[in-house]
């Protein structure tokens, strides 16, 4: 503990931020809060304010606060933060880019193996269209590469900036990506400019999708016009839907649920590792702000997974892939919880009480000579 640290410093943090006490407990006075219920009166005493995506940080929230030094969000997205206002107030802002990208990518992989099994689809024959080539889109593309599944990526902003040219990445048009067998959305909300993403899939673009396609949204609900989507589905369109995010959360369009293959409550990035990486990244940022050494890391606190070792004795294929993925994370669990209690308990209750979920990296996989495959290790499972 650095003696120069003000032990009376008030650190306000979202109660759903794992390991907050472990990371921040010796840096100040801790004050957990309910993310969607934080008021300006409560926030008035915060020296450090650590939030997740459901808390909007703006002039209204900080109207009574004259002491805040740092605002951090333990999320990839930052559309809930008024960064211009924070800069005007000279309040340091930090986020956690990439913290739950692996978690979201594994959510998509789990949905793919579930739907492939449900509809007898040859997973390895599909082409996946990825909209958004940032952290999450990149992690997904890496896992698809490991599986030998073809994909296209559309990201006009990255393409214009010529980012990733050093690794030979090629970008496709939105039209080509929207023509793929599976469309997976991984973009932030951008409401203006040359490439807005708000209602990117509007009524016109939705009507261009065919009956056999799969549409997955695990980024922001507003990327799809949910009302137009509902109209299309009520008219009998065969598009298969996977929705983890919804317009107007937590007051979502409940009527749309029955038209989805898989529904969940904005939890694609909610693996224990994904959420905890966000906490760790904010801890590192706060240490930098306070000019103190970083002496804690996530591995100090992560518990051992319920299943830690697996031995594979057969050649690797789709059935084995399905078994391996679902052993760690079967998205049908989250779909079942969502459908059973969304009306009785509500969207935020599901998020708040989300059961522990681990990532592929929590399991070590060994392969016998008969298996002769390194695919699981490239997919994210540890090598034993």
Cβ neighbours around 127 below 10 Å, total: 15
Decide if 339 is catalytic: no
HSE-up (13 A, CA, CB side) for residue 127: 10
Cβ neighbours of residue 157 under 8 Å, at least 6 residues apart?
Answer: 195
Tell me the two tokens of residue 52. Answer: 């997740």
Q: Which of 106, 249, 261, 359 is catalytic?
A: 249
Decide if 237 is catalytic: no
Decide if 220 is catalytic: yes
Tell me the two tokens of residue 151. Answer: 């994909």
Cβ atoms of 261 and 242 closer than 8 Å: yes
- In terms of Cβ atoms closer than 10 Å to its own Cβ (0-12, 13-18, 19+), residue 336 is middle
Tell me the two tokens of residue 273. Answer: 């590792």
Cβ neighbours around 320 below 10 Å, total: 17
Pairwise CA distance, residues 257 & 260, whole Å: 5
How far apart are the two ends of the chain, measured CA to CA in Å? 37
Of the candidates 310, 300, 332, the one whose C-alpha atom is nearest the C-alpha of residue 110 is: 332
Q: Which of 139, 266, 277, 357 is catalytic?
A: 266
Would you give the DSSP letter of residue 8? T
Q: Which of 52, 139, 220, 351 is catalytic?
A: 220
3-state DSSP assignment of residue 351: helix
Active site members:
220, 249, 266
């Amino acid at each position: 503990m650095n003696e120069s640290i003000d032990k009376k410093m008030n650190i306000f943090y979202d109660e759903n931020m794992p390991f907050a006490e472990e990371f921040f407990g010796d840096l100040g006075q801790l004050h957990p809060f309910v993310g969607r219920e934080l008021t300006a009166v409560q926030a008035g005493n915060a020296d450090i304010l650590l939030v997740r995506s459901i808390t909007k940080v703006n002039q209204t929230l900080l109207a009574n606060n004259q002491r805040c030094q740092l605002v951090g969000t333990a999320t990839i997205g930052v559309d809930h933060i008024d960064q211009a206002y924070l800069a005007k107030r000279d309040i340091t802002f930090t986020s956690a880019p990439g913290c739950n990208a692996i978690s979201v990518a594994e959510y998509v992989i789990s949905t793919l193996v579930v739907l492939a099994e449900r509809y007898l689809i040859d997973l390895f024959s599909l082409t996946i269209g990825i909209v958004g080539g940032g952290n999450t889109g990149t992690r997904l593309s890496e896992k698809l590469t490991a599986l030998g599944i073809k994909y296209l990526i559309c990201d006009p902003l990255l393409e214009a900036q010529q980012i990733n040219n050093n690794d030979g990445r090629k970008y496709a048009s939105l039209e080509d990506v929207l023509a793929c067998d599976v469309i997976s959305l991984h973009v932030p909300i951008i409401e203006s400019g040359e490439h807005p993403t708000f209602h990117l899939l509007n009524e016109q673009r939705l009507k261009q999708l065919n009956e056999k396609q799969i549409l997955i949204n695990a980024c922001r609900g507003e990327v799809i016009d949910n009302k137009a989507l509902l109209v299309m589905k009520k008219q009998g369109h065969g598009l298969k839907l996977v929705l983890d995010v919804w317009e107007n959360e937590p007051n979502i369009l409940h009527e749309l649920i029955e038209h989805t293959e898989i529904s969940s409550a904005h939890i694609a990035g909610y693996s224990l590792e994904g959420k905890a990486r966000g906490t760790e990244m904010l801890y590192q940022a706060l240490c930098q702000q306070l000019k103190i050494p970083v002496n804690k890391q996530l591995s100090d606190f992560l518990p051992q997974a319920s299943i830690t070792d697996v031995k594979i004795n057969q050649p690797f294929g789709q059935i084995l892939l399905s078994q391996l993925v679902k052993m760690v994370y079967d998205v049908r669990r989250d779909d079942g919880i969502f459908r059973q209690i969304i009306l009785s308990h509500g969207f935020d209750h599901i998020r708040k009480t989300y059961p522990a979920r681990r990532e592929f990296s929590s399991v070590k996989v060994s392969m016998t000579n008969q298996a002769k495959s390194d695919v699981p290790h490239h997919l994210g499972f540890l090598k034993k």
